[in-house]
Structure 1
Amino acid sequence: MALRAHFLHRGTRRWLGGAFLLFGVGLLAFTDPLGSQQSWGLPAKTVAKNEPISPLPLPASGDPRRVALGARLFADSRLSRNNSRSCASCHDVRDNGATRNALDRSLDGTSLRLNTLTVFNAAASFRLSWTGKDRSFEEQAKRSIENPHIMGSTVSEVVGKLGIDPDMRRLFELAYGRAPDEAVVLDAIAAYERSLLTPGSRFDRWLQGDGGALSATELHGYQLFKSLGCVSCHQGVNIGGNLLERHGIFHPLGSPEPVILRVPSLRNVDTTPPYFHDGSAGTLEEAVERMGYAQLNTLLQPDEVHDIVAFLRTLTGNFNGHPVGQPQ
């Protein structure tokens, strides 16, 4: 029988996972960005108790005119300097909310520095982007529009383009009662992005009381996910996204910079390869194996990787009536 390479006793590793959770960067957000489950239409009595992960609620009912306008802006190439790309160019909501490239391209054709994160369920994260520097969708939208590598424009230039379009002026009048300006352009984009939740995963159904939603293998994978310490960083309603952490704690994990990253959500993770901030893990199996070694100092056995991946594949939710990642 092959000897398992346990560098740390499981109990010690679980404690260390909690320690990194608390002390890794000295910053945590224990609040639920989406509010209580009950206020979002999920009766508390249906949710599994004492689990570190919560079901994802249905999207809030925002102003439909503003959400629809934001959807149009999200796909509008006039947000870029040369009208060559839109938000949807790198965040395809017909697929996984991102792309399937390791690194997307900047305006000049060179590779962007970091892998594109999915826009799905970003509303459930306490901050945005890999480094967590953006605290709101409005802030991120402005930064992306004015980033010379992404859109290379300015919000004022975008407002000028939209303002001479009679149809867009009409839509802004209907949604906001005034012509497009910086505040309402950013607000509409943010309203749309907040609507991009993907509830209804099989794991959510299990959390809500459907005992047959998961197989024995998937349940074992979830137990491993908890006992090994993965859940120390990937928990809450977004299964991540609620703290900043140092990567490569025990061993290097991808490119060394940035040193501190926002822990990504694992929702829909089966649909978002390649993985890591540098897109260097091509498959979910590779990502799980490398994470175990780099973050937990553990060489996972093939059967453990298999079962954890089986669990992770139950985290795929639904958008517009279709499972995320399936052609629409």
Structure 2
Amino acid sequence: MTTAAAYGCGFACLLLALVCLSAFSPADAQSPGSEVRADREPITPIPAPRAQDPQRVLLGERLFGDRRLSHDNTHSCSSCHDIATNGASARIHDTREGQPIALNTPTVFNASLNFRLNWEGNFRSLEEGIEGSLRNPAIMASSVDEVLGKLRADPGIVGQFRDAYGREPDAAALLDAIATYERTLVTPASRFDRWLAGETNAMTSDELSGYQVFKSLGCIACHQGVNVGGNLFQRHGIFHPLGSPEPALVRVPSLRNVATTAPYFHDGSAATLPEAVKAMGVAQLDRVLTDQQTAAIVAFLNTLTGTYRGQAVRPATATPRTGSQMP
């Protein structure tokens, strides 16, 4: 994206924020209305995942945890993207061979709902992102051809490819299998989604007030849609610096499961959610949020935690791990 486009994106978001500010009065921020129409809200519920070929999903899940995807056979996608917890890790920077990866690892949960992948938004599809991680020397330091050479020497996984694709492992099947599995990594049924669906008791009055504050301050300008973000680029540090200066332009992150994905920002510089909310207010809105405003927004953000395989997404532990960075 060009510099002009980047500034245009920032201006568009600021304009939308002003619209949001004019649409909500201070009274709205304090007392949520009982007549809110969910079908008119700027955030939409996560739909049920599309049906996927079960054999390809199983193969993709196996490959997601296969260390042969890395050049030295030491780590897999799941080394950093912990599906048992938040789809990422608890580290500021994951490492490979003792060297920190440049940016904080984003969660793989709901990555299929983003319009671009990675903080820099440099991949347009899951397949592109997977291939990019394989050949990235700071991540897997491998290649599709190298991985295929290892897999073709394994009769068991060759048989699984034949069952799923009717042929031996090849580049298209390898990337498709992992991407097919990743498309199942969605986390519906958050309390906010349930409220949108008409379950009026799914959220407390404090959480609903927090949602109104979130909208009235203009946070909704960038964090909206099905993934509560993930659908546009934005310049961080519009008014004041926000973490490390590079990359200057980032794909707006999704706020789905945000209460579980500390640390925050592209550089992992915010350790807690209240800290991140206050920093965003200063950097992106040029406003010092009060403790009451911060607490209200955090209360709302806690309602965005969804479920995976019937269990609520939970924070990752601080166990050291090595691996890849992808969505």
TM band (smaller chain): 0.7 to 0.9
Kept in 1: contact 2:10–2:234 (CA 8 A): no
Distance across 1 between alignment mates of 2:304 and 2:224: 12
User: Structure 2: which 5+ residue stretches go unaligned?
Assistant: 1-7, 17-36, 317-327
Q: State the partner residue of 2:273.
A: 284
Aligned match for 1:105, one of 95, 104, 110: 95
- Structure-2 change in CA distance of 1:271 and 1:320 (3 Å): same
Partner of 1:91: 81
Write the distance in 2 (CA, Å) between the matches of 1:51 and 1:154: 43
Letter of the structure 2 residue corresponding to residue 129 of structure 1: N
SS of 2:234's partner is strand
Find the aligned partners of 1:49 and 1:323 in 2 and give their Cα distance: 25
1:66 pairs with 2:51: no
RMSD over aligned Cα atoms? 1.7
- SS of the aligned residue for 2:100 comes to coil
Separation in structure 1 between the aligned mates of residue 143 and residue 11 of structure 2, nearest angstrom: 42
1:209-263 per-position Cα deviation (integer Å, ceiling 9, x unaligned): 0111111110010000000000000000000000000000000000000000000
- Partner residue of 1:30? none
Cross-structure match for 1:20: 12
Q: CA contact under 8 A between 2:114 and 2:230: conserved in structure 1? A: yes
Shift of 1:50: 1.2
| 2:125 aligned partner | 136
Q: In the alignment, what sits opposite 2:68? A: 78
Looking at structure 1, the residues matched to 200 and 9 of structure 2 have their Cα atoms a distance apart, in angstroms, of 28
Q: Specify whether residues 70 and 83 from structure 1 end up closer, same or farther in structure 2 by C-alpha distance, changes over 3 A only.
A: same
Question: Any runs of at least 4 consecutive aligned residues in structure 1 with deviations exceeding 6 A, and if so which?
Answer: none
**Contact between 1:101 and 1:274, CA under 8 Å: does it hold in 2?**
yes
**Equivalent position SS for 1:261:** strand
Say whether the 8 Å CA contact 2:92–2:268 is kept in structure 1: yes
CA distance in 2, matches of 1:222, 1:160: 51
What's 1:188 paired with? Answer: 177
CA contact (8 A) 1:271 1:325 kept: yes
- Report if aligned partners of 2:9, 2:234 keep a CA contact under 8 Å in 1: no
- Structure 1: distance between partners of 2:129 and 2:315: 27
Counting only pairs closer than 5 Å after superposition, residues 170-189 of structure 1 correspond to structure 2 as: 170-189=159-178
Deviation at 1:19, TM superposition (A): 3.9
Question: Which residue type is aligned with residue 60 of structure 2?
Answer: G
Identify the match of residue 151 of structure 2 among 153, 162, 165. 162
Cα deviation for residue 59 of structure 1 reads 0.9
Deviation of the 1:275 alpha carbon: 0.1
Distance between the aligned counterparts of 1:219 and 1:18, measured in 2?
28
- Kindly tell me the number of residue pairs found equivalent between the two proteins: 289
* C-alpha separation in 2, matches of 1:122 and 1:20: 24
8 Å contact from structure 2 (residues 10, 235) kept in 1: no
Compute the displacement of 1:171 (Å). Answer: 0.3
- The AA in structure 1 aligned to 2:236 is H
Q: CA separation in 2, counterparts of 1:22 and 1:270?
A: 25
Unaligned runs of 5+ residues in structure 1 are 1-15, 25-46
Aligned counterpart, 2:220: 231
Contact 1:17 1:229 in 2 (8 A): no
The one-letter amino acid of 2:13's match is L
Residue by residue over 1:107-126, the C-alpha shift from the partner in whole angstroms, topping out at 9 and shown as x without a partner, is x3111110000000011111
CA contact (8 A) 1:71 1:192 kept: yes
Q: Distance in 2 between matches of 1:248 and 1:23?
A: 16
Structure 1 residue 49, shift from structure 2 partner? 2.0
Assess, with a 3 A threshold, how the Cα gap between structure 1 residues 23 and 178 changes in structure 2: closer, same or farther: farther
Instruction: Please tell me whether the aligned partners of residues 17 and 296 of structure 1 are also in contact (alpha carbons under 8 angstroms).
Output: no
Q: 1:17, 1:109 → 2: CA distance?
A: 37
